[in-house]
Amino acid sequence: MKRRQFLNTATAGSLFLPGLALRGQNAPSNKLNIALIGVWGRGTAHYDAISTQNVVALCDINENRLREAGQRWPHAKTYVDWRKCLDQKDIDAVVICTTDHTHAFIANWALNRQKHVYCEKPLGITVEEVRTVRANYIRNRNKVATQHGTQRHAYPNFNRIRELILDGAIGELKTVSLWGTRQIRKPGYLPVEGTPPSHLNYDLWIGPSEYHPYNPGYFSGSAGSNCLNWNMYWDFGVGQIGDMGAHTMDIAWNAIDARLPLSAEADMTVSEKFNPEVTPVEFKATFEHPANSWRGPIRVVWYQGGPMPKSPHPAIDLKTVGHAALFEGTKGALIGHFESRILLPSVKDGDMTYYKPRPASQLIPPLGWKTPPMPAAPGARPARESIFQWEWINACKTDLKTSCDFVYGGDLIEQMLLGLVSYRVGKKLMYDGDAGRVTNVPEANQLLRRKYRPGWTLNG
């Protein structure tokens, strides 16, 4: 190859890598400049992964937490307002670990600036928010890499379940039921109690949502579960739908190749009565999906807080598994947890001669198979977490492809949010996914979005 041809090839291959020199993926000049927005809570789960890069900006509304993170990255610039943080010119990529009601805002602003984005789930708390971010990503997908934070996706069992479904281990797929048994009950927004401490920028924490008085109870959780103090309130999150619901639905999403549903219907006979302040604990919703290239139409059913699908076998108590999926087909059933699975044939005498397992050479490669291993660090997170994060970091530098980008994750969350809209109106919704519009219940369309406080815009 002539030198000019080589240079042209190298230049073409680096168009989506502004500022990154072609001197080896792990060379110092090839490190990403990352902004961590939300340094505590889920933010701490990213410390080891992003420490392999250049952390150039830190942002948090809690100045005490910001100082703690600054001890690890003393050269990073610090901010309490994420809008000002995103104006820092040398940022290549953003990791979003803030409250759920600000996820879509930060992600969309970052995409407007053509930054790579890792966003903890949920991508948004309304259908409109999710659709806005997904559309922005699609416009920029040849320039940025995105990852939706369902890190359990890195478990090899996700691929084993997909293979069993695709290869006909349960025959023709008909229904997928998923459940989460968590129950966190709240009567309503917390009453006013005291005043925000000087280190806490409470108005920025409220952000675009309707203002609610300060109460220290919103901030009393530990790093691993602080979201369970606020994400069940409608103005701050969507409860289990956006928390463990996103992780659990991912078991099915990885296997069924679905996009947006044709309909969403909350079962009001088992779902709890609507509370205008708090998302439901007991809840059931059914989604109808059209056929695709390898399967016919299917139903996807979500249960939470107590309601459960019927077990496919009397010897199996589904309630012993807190979060899982049940795939039912014409020849059997498959129960899948994040790390395990049970196959139950239903044909006479358990005959499985119709099914031929694929050879080892045809197994789906594990997530991160093309990703260099992340350097070991003291107290490193479990492998699934670091692999999932490192997949995104690698994608930012190479082909921009991740397993849970904002199309995959956005579709998953949009479906779940449609279930909550059906719950709020108490009617089955027929949905036009192309237009993002409910076609049979006009008043439901008002619930696809929410009103923001003056001064806040989703598309900044």
For the stretch 130-153, pLDDT in tens is 999 999 999 999 999 999 999 999
Q: Does the pLDDT value for residue 6 go beyond 70?
A: no
Q: Quick one: pLDDT at residue 223?
A: 83
pLDDT per position as a tens digit, 388-398: 999 999 999 99
| Predicted confidence band of residue 29 (pLDDT cuts 50, 70, 90) | low
pTM: 0.92
CB contact burial 210-247 (16+ within 10 A = b; e otherwise): eebebbeebbeeeeeebbbbbbbbbbbbbbbbbbbbbb
Same fold flag, 3-153+369-410 and 154-183+241-362: no
Q: Quick one: pLDDT at residue 158?
A: 97
Check if the beta carbon of residue 434 is closer than 8 Å to that of residue 65: no
* Domain ranges (residues) in the chain: 3-153+369-410, 154-183+241-362
Q: What is the mean pLDDT of residues 28-43?
A: 90
**Cα R_g (the chain), whole angstroms:** 23
The dotted CATH code for 3-153+369-410 is 3.40.50.720
| Predicted confidence band of residue 375 (pLDDT cuts 50, 70, 90) | low
Find the angle CA(209)-CA(210)-CA(214) to the nearest 5 degrees: 100
Residue type, 52: T
Give the CATH class of 154-183+241-362: alpha beta
pLDDT per position as a tens digit, 206-251: 999 999 999 999 999 888 789 999 999 999 999 999 999 999 999 9
Q: In the numeric block, which tokens belong to residue 160?
A: 């084993």
Q: What is the mean pLDDT of residues 245-267?
A: 98
Q: Does the pLDDT value for residue 8 go beyond 50?
A: no
Taking the C-alpha atoms of residue 36 and residue 353, their distance in angstroms, rounded to an integer, is 52
Q: What is the mean pLDDT of residues 260-264?
A: 98
**What is the length of the chain?**
460
Which contacts qualify for 424-431: CB closer than 8 Å, 24 or more apart? Answer: 424/274, 426/266, 426/268, 426/274, 427/265, 428/263, 428/264, 428/265, 429/263, 429/264, 429/265, 430/262, 430/263, 431/260, 431/261, 431/262, 431/263, 431/264
Q: In the numeric block, which tokens belong to residue 106?
A: 């930060």
Q: What is the mean pLDDT of residues 349-370?
A: 87
> Helices (H) and strands (E) in the chain — how many of each?
11, 15
